[in-house]
Amino acid sequence: MSEKSKILIIGGTGYIGKFIVAASAKSGHPTFALVRESTVSDPSKSEIIGSFKSSGVNLVYGDLNDHESLVKAIKQVDVVISTVGRLQFSDQVKIVAAIKEAGNVKRFFPSEFGNDVDRVHAVGPAKIAFGIKAQIRRAIEAEGIPYTYVCSNLFAGFFLPRLSQSDATAAFFVSKLSQPGATGPPRDKVIIPGDGNPKAVFNKEEDIGTYTIKAVDDPRTLNKNLYIRPPKNTYSYNEIISLWEKKIGKTLEKIYVPEEQVLKDIQEASFPLNAIFSIDHSVFIKGDQTNFEVEKSFGVEATELYPDVKFTTVDELLNHLV
């Protein structure tokens, strides 16, 4: 059996990054996390840094703005995975430049982990963010760097407890916790963007980590989009609400918001709600996660490639929220 690739994760202390780091370490890949020295000494990051150390992750000091440190870190590994957040999407050109100079990287996974940004009909902040991700794709391809783009769709751990209800979403961003008193999806009334019929895909963050790491040494995912689209996790908004109603034994009042109003809300809201509303518009009104077929020329589907992975279903996730 060939030796497992050494993996460097950039942005590993962030929301999705910590799941990628954990999956890499658990799978036995020599795992490296690029961290700033200030991050290691930050009390708010002590728990996650401690978990990295206890699972055998190698901490590598560096910074996106320090080219030499970036090249030095990259030269130690075979694969680079970026999980940087929205404010650093455009800075990934610096990773591309460092990978090109290092000359040893077998695969680069840029920070994607959402919609396929080449197949969206987005507006507002989502359009801007998706556009930057698409620019990074083109930069990678122009330099001839081997890649995999992970299109993991919605983070179930973020979305399902809130079902995109604006009050709970705002509270999450402000406090990093669910809205005070909100222990799960709504139990009285629910606001649904559009007619609630386009289907979306909901994946548990740990499963996204698992599938991402599975793809690292897989030639079938080389220079492809990896779509995480389990049929059991593909639901319309109406279907999710119906499933939730059955679990709590109660019918919710449903308030449908027409597209025109959603577009107006995007224009009038401030961050982070305008970003959430614009993602909702792309996903739940335009159906951008499921309105195209995955063709072999550009993509592969994770659950088909890795049928051995036991992923968590939406049904199981909602059981925990009852």
Res 88: pLDDT: 97
Q: Is 194 left (phi over 0), alpha (psi -120 to 50) or beta?
A: left
CA distance 68 to 202: 39
Q: What is the pLDDT of residues 51-91, one digit of tens each?
A: 999 999 999 999 999 999 999 999 999 999 999 999 999 99
**Which amino acid is residue 132, in one-letter code?**
I
Residue with tokens 């939406």: 314
* Buried/exposed 263-273: b ≥16 CB within 10 Å, e otherwise: bebbeebeeeb
Instruction: State pTM to two decimals.
Output: 0.94
- With helix as H, strand as E and coil as C, how does the chain read? CCCCCCEEEECCCCCCHHHHHHHHHHCCCCEEEEECHHHHCCHHHHHHHHHHHHCCCEEEECCCCCHHHHHHHHCCCCEEEECCCHHHCCCHHHHHHHHHHHCCCCEEECCCCCCCCCCCCCCHHHHHHHHHHHHHHHHHHHCCCCEEEEECCEEHHHHCCCCCCHHHHHHHHHHCCCCCCCCCCCCCEEEEECCCCCEEEEECHHHHHHHHHHHCCCHHHCCEEEECCCHHHEEEHHHHHHHHHHHHCCCCEEEEECHHHHHHHHHHCCCCHHHHHHHHHHHHHCCCCCCCCCCCCCEEEHHHHCCCCCCCCHHHHHHHHC
CA distance 148 to 315: 29
pLDDT(158) > 50: yes
Res 167: pLDDT: 58
Cα angle 47, 53, 57; round to 5: 125
Q: Which residues pair with 78 in a beta bridge?
A: none
Please tell me the total number of residues recorded for the chain in this structure.
322
pLDDT(28) > 90: yes
Q: What is the pLDDT of residues 97-139, one digit of tens each?
A: 999 999 999 999 999 999 999 999 999 999 999 999 999 999 9
Phi (first) and psi of residue 108, to 5 degrees: -125, 130
Active site residue 133: yes
CA distance 116 to 136: 13
Q: What is the pLDDT of residues 161-205, one digit of tens each?
A: 877 666 555 444 443 333 333 457 888 999 999 999 999 999 999
Q: Is 118 left (phi over 0), alpha (psi -120 to 50) or beta?
A: alpha
Res 180: pLDDT: 31
Res 185: pLDDT: 85
Res 243: pLDDT: 97
Q: How confident is the model at residue 272 (pLDDT cuts 50, 70, 90)?
A: confident
Q: Residue 64: name the closest of 86, 102, 35, 40 by CA.
A: 35
14 CB contacts (<8 Å, ≥6 apart)? 83, 84, 85
Q: Check 18, 133, 204, 224 and give the catalytic one.
A: 133
Instruction: Supply the mean pLDDT for the chain.
Output: 93
CA distance 207 to 152: 9
pLDDT(263) > 90: yes
